Every structure is written in C-alpha cells, then in structure tokens.
Structure 1
C-alpha cells in the first residue's frame, strides 16, 4: 500500500474551507475574524469569484491599503467590478464599519508577492505622502469630501480599443469624484485625440503624476488644449516628450507662438529631475524659459530638436548644469556652433556628470579639440558616447588618450575616423573595408600603448529609427569583434 505524498491541508486552510462553504455565515462572522486571516481569505474568495463574500470583505478590510496589483494583473472584469461595488456600498454609508480602515486601493505592482507574504507585509504597507494629510482617528468617522478613497493605478491613454479594466475604472472615478481620488504615478499618452486625452485626464488627480511619457504626433489644436494640463502636473519628476515636429504649412510666427507657450508651461515643473525631448520643435530659442526654474534637474536628453547657439550658451551657465548626472545631445547639428559653449557646459558639469553622450552631432576636429581640456575634468564620468561624429584619425587618437585618463570611465563609444571612408566623403555604413582595416590596426596599437581599462567600441553603422548599432570591440587578445547591438537608452548607459 503506497503512502500519499500530498501535503495535508493546514488547520487554517480547513477553517477557510469550512467558512466559505456557507457565504451567509461567513459574512456574519467577519466582525470576529482574526485580522491575520484576512489576506489569505481575500485571495481565496477572489479566486473563487464569490461576489457577495468579496463585497463584504472589502467593506470589512482591516488594513489601510488593499494592494490588488498582483491579483488584477489579468483580472476578470466582473470580479474587479465586484470590488468596486463593495466600495460603492461602503462609501454610501453614513458611518464606517468598526473594522474598516481602508484608505488606499492600489492597482499597481509596487508590492510583488504581497499576497504570498500575507498579514505581516500587508500590515506594514503605508503611504505617508497620502495618509499624513488625512484626519486622525479622533476625527469624525463620517465619510466626507476631506476623506476620499485613494486609488493608485498607472494609466496608458491610447487610440483604439482601451483596456477594459482601465476604461471601467476611469468611468467609475469620474462618477465619484467627490469621494474618490484616482492617482496615476506613471501616465503614458499614445493618442492624438484631444477628446480621448481630456476624458481620461478629467478623472485623474493631475498633481499625483510623477512620470509622463507622450509619444504621438500632435496637431496644433491638441498641443494647445493639452498645455494647461501639463502645468497642473506640479509633482512631475520625469517627462518624456517625442514626435512633435513643426508644421511646415504653419507660419514661422505661429510656430514661435506655440514654442513660447509650451516653454512657459514646462518651466513651471519645478520638481522635474529627468527631461527627455525627442523630435520636437518648441525648444528653439526656449531653453532659458524652460530650464531657468528646473533646479532639481539631474538628467537631460535632447534629440533631433532645433537649437540656437544661445540655447547651448544658456545651458552652460544654468545652475542645473552643475548637478547634471546624465547628459545626452543626439542628432543636433552643432557643426556651425563654436566650441566654446560646449566646452563651458562640460566644465560646469565636470564634478557630477556620470554619463555624457554627444552622438551624431556633426562635431568635427576643431570643436572636439576645443572641448578636450574640459572633458578630462570629468572625474565622475563612467560612460562616454561619441559615435556618429566626423573626426579624423589623429582626433580619435587624441580623444582616446584623453579619456584614458578618466579614473572611472568604463565604456566609450567612438566613431570610425574619416580615414575609414572613401575619398568622396563620410556616410554612415559606407566605410571602406581596406581603409578601415588599417585604422583598426593603428587603433589597436594605440590602445595597447595607453593601457586603458575602458571598453572601447567603434561604431561603423547605426540606425536611430531601429535603435541598433554595429560595433567593433577590441577583445582581450587584441582582435576586433563585430556585433550588432541595440543602442542603449540614456538610463541604460551607466554599466
């Protein structure tokens, strides 16, 4: 006779099975149920889709937070609606149940495995930024406008079919704005419909948004109507704006007017720490207005945006440049700029800069040589990306000898020198293999002589559209290894 290897159910599991066999008795017993049993009981009821019991559990929840991120990852909409129905019934009551302490419904995944960890971890969750402004236990137990239920959910606004859970939640929050606050720490907008955008934003506490990503071409009317919402996101820490090119059919005066308006709204985001701007027209001549009040800025990425030389001069003198940790200038035509503002900028940021990316900016030998003395002051620099620029072999060797002196530099991305290309000119991907072989041999010898510890990669072909780059990397045995790699994002550059 074989012994069963199955683990027998625990006393807690047996108690729950007995309790849930009769929902009416189970609901009546919630007032006397030990607090430590609530997480496991809620998880079991949620899985079984026992709607009446689920409503009762929500109303009797003994913790300040109900973190449904794990359970709502692939939710049954009907079950999720049951949770909101339970909250509806609760919010409609004149007095709170004696056991109820719920103040936050969290639909994010900020607490992974919280249901596995159970009661101790559930009891420790707190939201000091939300709860510190809430009434104390000695205050009136009546649910008032000063005591809304806080709901946390990261949102994505897009065209076409919407996420069913999000659509229902937005509608529910709009209907109950006096008693519910929908907070979205991370908001993404992939829509060019101002109607869809406004409809969603009207349900959200705009000052709760800390990270905003906008990646969609917008018409002028969309930009005009969105701008006031932007300035209301007073606690924004991270802003990613892309694909807002100028309309060539619009007058230059009108484009300038839009640029001024957006600059004013961006300049009001005084808590901004990271700013990523790609393919937008409204930076031209407006960096002073935008950056003047951004005293906390640590990361700045400007890509494929028109700039004036005066913008670069202001950036070099701006107080925030003294604390920048990550700076990227990509696909900006700097060949007609003097080297002085770039040199001054590197001098300002030398003490704090950890990542410096000057990529595909048409920088040539005179500009590079002008900024080299400032570059070697970068005592904290860990990653330097300089691919896509048009410099000679002697300039590349001089650049490598300077970066070899940087104590913390771990990775350098460099362009293939002009001598790698046919005499008719430098063009991405058009390098001459025989010429490049001679360049490789000289660079390998130069790097051996320098004894540099950085990972040196020579970029011969890149595509910003596909985010890929062909690299030649010097291996430990002195040979060059060719790879096609994904271009690193600014946040991914520090290794």
Structure 2
C-alpha cells in the first residue's frame, strides 16, 4: 500500500524543475524514498540529482529498491539501463562536487557518503520499466569500472583529492572488459571511487588473467568466485589458486567445468587431496559447484574436510556412483542442504534407496532440487513423488530432459500442487511431442522438431490442474535449452 510520503515524493519528482530546486533542501531521511520512486517512475535525471546530493553514509541499492514501509513493491529486478547509468553519473557528480569543496554544493549536509553497495540487483528475463532495456551484470561491471577510471583521471587533472567512496560490486569479467576492470582495481587505492568486488565471475579467461584479477581484488571481502565456461585450468592450477590467494570471507565457489577427472589420474593422485585441503581453508564456505567434474568414488575425499556443512551443492554430471551417494546421504551436508543439483545421474533407476534417504534427510531444509536428464520415466514418477514426500518446504523443482509423457506430467503436477511453498516447476517437453524413436535426452535437432501445438495443449492441461487446486501462483515452464541464465545471455 502506498503511503502519503510516497505520493508526495512521486508528485515532487514529476516536476523536474521543482525537484532540481527543492531536492538539496529536502530532509535527508526522505532520500531513500525518493531514490526508489525515481527508479519506479524511470526518471534518470531526478535519480542522478538524488545520488549527487546523497546525504547519508551508505547507499545500498538492494535495500533501497527492496520492500519498504512506504511502498512494498520489490524493484530489485528492475535493472533499467537508463536508471543505472544515471546512478553512476550521479556518483561521479558526487565525488566531483566533494573535490570542488563547499562552493560546489552549498546546500549539502548530513554525513559524508562512504559506501555504495550495488550487489543487491537481481537480473531477470524481462524488464518492467518503460524503456524495456536492462543493464546486465557484465554491462554494469564495465560501466562501473569506466566510472572509477574516469573519476581517478579527473582527480589527477584537477590536482585535488576527493573523499574516497567504496563501491561494492558483483563483477562479471570476460576478455572484452578485462582491461578496464583491471585499471579500476589498480586505481582502488588512489581514486575517489574504490571498486571492491564482493563477487567475481570470470568467464572464458586464461589462468594468468584470473590470477592477475585475484591479485588485484580485495580478497578479504570476496564472498563468491565463479570460474565458468571456457576457463581451462588444471587441478594443479586450481590447487595453486586456493593455496596462494587466501579468501577468508568466501561463501561460494564454482570450479571450472571438468577441472577434476579421477579417470585420468592414478588412485593415489595427490591433486584431489590438495584441492580438499584448499577447500578446507575456506572457513565460511556454504556453496560448492562442481559441474561435470568426474568424481566417481571420490566425493568423500573432496568434501569430508570442509569446516561446515554445505547449503548449496552442484554435482551435475559428476558421474557419481553408489559409494558417493551413500556418503552424501549419510553426511552432515544432507541435513543442511537448501539447493541441490544431481542432474545427469539415473537416480531412481540405479540408486532408489539412497535417493530416498538423501531426500528424507534433506527434507527440512531443501528449497531447490534439480534432476535434469536423470532418466526419470513414467514408471519412476511414483517413486520420485514418494521420495519428495517429506520435502514440503520445496520451492523449486527442475526436471528438464527426462522422458516423461503427458500422462506422467499430469500425475506429477496433481501431486506437486499440494506442496505449500512450491513456486517454480520446470518440466520436460513430454515424449508425446517428439517423433517415435527419439532418444533421450533429445539432441538440439530433436528439440527443434518437437510438436509445438501439442506442447501448448499439454501446458494448458498442466496449468489447469494447478488452477483447479488453487495453485495458480506456481510458475511453470518447459525450457528447451535449460533455465534462464542472465549471465549466459549477456555473453
């Protein structure tokens, strides 16, 4: 519900001339509300002024755009390009005014801005703003890095220093923006805008550049490190990374694809022990993503030394065997897991008892489960539903790539409609929509050849089941090529 304060702020910002004249005199406790309203109304000029005159020590975008007493709507997914560009421009104006002294901003009062936190934004598939143009994480990283570099250059040319403002960011670095990001990181100690990476995603970078990045970031504040896609790294290089770059605050790490392959090494290969030791040196680690690392029979070796149970674990395509799954089901991790990805394993067919035990132990905490390409067929649907029975707090279930028919999906949805917290179901294109004899998981060519009309009919039937059960709030989709990933789309 909108408050009177919200309505007043909206009226003020709709009159640009009045806002420009009045804004510097507005009570500083109204600035957070004005910031959110300017985003909602997509008013970049007003937003730039608000940031320029910001009178509070902290500007946290995630907190400002989230649910607030004056306006409950959450705007953190509104990564409007115009608004974010205006935010960065206003930030540059702010430090420029600070450098120029009181004459430039005779009306500024309050406490000096010390910290800007840009990490709270959430990228989405569609934009609700009028312009319809979002600014993804990669583009935000490049724009912020350029702002830091340009602010430093202006300061050098002016010969006067401004008060430093730390800028926390979730950085996304590829070959294309590597240079400017490194320039911004090197200027951190001397420029007015100090880039500090809370999260770092390195995509398609060679190892030497990844090591240079880690040497330049502020490691004590780094909470997440993702090494993805075409990152070619050997187990020895990953071992060096974990040993040479202490990351005491790291909570999440993604290993490069297939960085570990136990089939290529001797049984007593020291690299796995070294990696386990490196992970054990991350005291706050809660999330570990190991996509397509071949760990057959060695999961215990990698995870048993961790200092605390994991909350998020991605074991997709890791070719786990019964020993691995038995370890996981009996480990301390099972009772702490909130997000689990076991895609690529024929769990119901090969390891039903262990699968049951794992989900039963994880039931009180599990929020998200991915079972893509697990060879779940119609004859396994009942087994999967029984295994999921205790997981009443489940919020997201992904089953893409499994050969389930129209009838199997109907049965699945009828059961899942009773899960009180379920919000998202990603299901496979049913087997009925493919030509007879199609192998599963289907190839890209087979996916393109599916019967779209029949799929639309199935989607209507499944949505009707949820509506009848008064669960129309559950979002459903049958993505052909996996879940939406804003970072992948941007590159």
TM-score range, shorter chain: 0.5 to 0.7
SS for the counterpart of 1:304 is coil
Q: Hey, what does 1:225 align to over in structure 2? A: 240
Q: Hey, what does 2:133 align to over in structure 1? A: none
- Structure 1 residues 368 and 265, CA gap change in structure 2 (3 angstroms): farther
Q: 2: CA distance between counterparts of 1:396 and 1:185?
A: 41
Q: Is residue 2:255 matched to residue 1:241? A: yes
Q: Hey, what does 2:166 align to over in structure 1? A: 106
| Alignment RMSD | 5.3
Decide which of 144, 150, 159 is 2:175's aligned counterpart. Answer: 159
Decide which of 56, 75, 83 is 2:147's aligned counterpart. Answer: 75
TM-superposed CA distance for 1:186, in Å, is 1.6
Q: Is the 8 A contact 1:218 1:244 kept in 2?
A: no
Q: Hey, what does 2:82 align to over in structure 1? A: none
Q: 1: CA distance between counterparts of 2:216 and 2:171?
A: 11
SS for the counterpart of 1:187 is strand
- Structure 1 residues 347 and 81, CA gap change in structure 2 (3 angstroms): same
Q: Hey, what does 1:385 align to over in structure 2? A: 398
Q: Is residue 2:314 matched to residue 1:266? A: no
Structure with more contact order per residue of length (Cα contacts < 8 Å, sep ≥ 6): 2
Q: Hey, what does 2:480 align to over in structure 1? A: 462
Q: Is the 8 A contact 2:261 2:294 kept in 1?
A: no
SS for the counterpart of 1:188 is strand
Q: Hey, what does 1:66 align to over in structure 2? A: 114
Q: 2: CA distance between counterparts of 1:405 and 1:270?
A: 38
TM-score, normalization by structure 2? 0.59
Alignment of structure 1 residues 117-266 onto 2, 5 Å: 155-159=171-175, 162-164=178-180, 166-172=181-187, 183-190=196-203, 192-215=205-228, 216-220=230-234, 222-229=237-244, 232-245=246-259, 251-253=264-266, 257-266=270-279
Q: 2: CA distance between counterparts of 1:187 and 1:234?
A: 15
TM-superposed CA distance for 1:462, in Å, is 1.7
Q: Is the 8 A contact 1:259 1:282 kept in 2?
A: no
Q: Hey, what does 1:407 align to over in structure 2? A: 420
TM-superposed CA distance for 1:383, in Å, is 2.7
Q: Which runs of 5+ in 1 are unaligned?
A: 14-36, 91-101, 109-152, 468-485, 490-495
Q: Hey, what does 1:347 align to over in structure 2? A: 360
Q: 2: CA distance between counterparts of 1:240 and 1:363?
A: 27
TM-superposed CA distance for 1:386, in Å, is 1.8
Aligned residues: 376
TM-superposed CA distance for 1:339, in Å, is 0.9
Q: Per-residue CA shift, 1:238-292, capped at 9, x if unaligned?
A: 22334345689x9432995434432332243332233333333458622553265
Q: Hey, what does 1:302 align to over in structure 2? A: 315
Q: Hey, what does 1:323 align to over in structure 2? A: 336
SS for the counterpart of 2:212 is helix
- Structure 1 residues 404 and 156, CA gap change in structure 2 (3 angstroms): closer
The answer to which structure has the higher strand fraction is 1
TM-score, normalization by structure 1? 0.58
Q: 2: CA distance between counterparts of 1:407 and 1:155?
A: 36
Q: 2: CA distance between counterparts of 1:9 and 1:336?
A: 67
TM-superposed CA distance for 1:390, in Å, is 2.6
Decide which of 359, 379, 382 is 1:369's aligned counterpart. Answer: 382
- Structure 1 residues 441 and 9, CA gap change in structure 2 (3 angstroms): closer
Q: 1: CA distance between counterparts of 2:333 and 2:209?
A: 35
- Structure 1 residues 488 and 389, CA gap change in structure 2 (3 angstroms): farther
Q: Is the 8 A contact 2:376 2:404 kept in 1?
A: yes
TM-superposed CA distance for 1:74, in Å, is 5.1
Q: 2: CA distance between counterparts of 1:405 and 1:360?
A: 25
- Structure 1 residues 54 and 193, CA gap change in structure 2 (3 angstroms): farther
SS for the counterpart of 2:323 is helix
- Structure 1 residues 88 and 276, CA gap change in structure 2 (3 angstroms): farther
Q: Is the 8 A contact 1:259 1:281 kept in 2?
A: no
Q: Per-residue CA shift, 1:339-388, capped at 9, x if unaligned?
A: 11211111112122222221122223565433432312222123322232
Q: Per-residue CA shift, 1:403-423, capped at 9, x if unaligned?
A: 233233344333355455444
Q: 1: CA distance between counterparts of 2:452 and 2:363?
A: 39
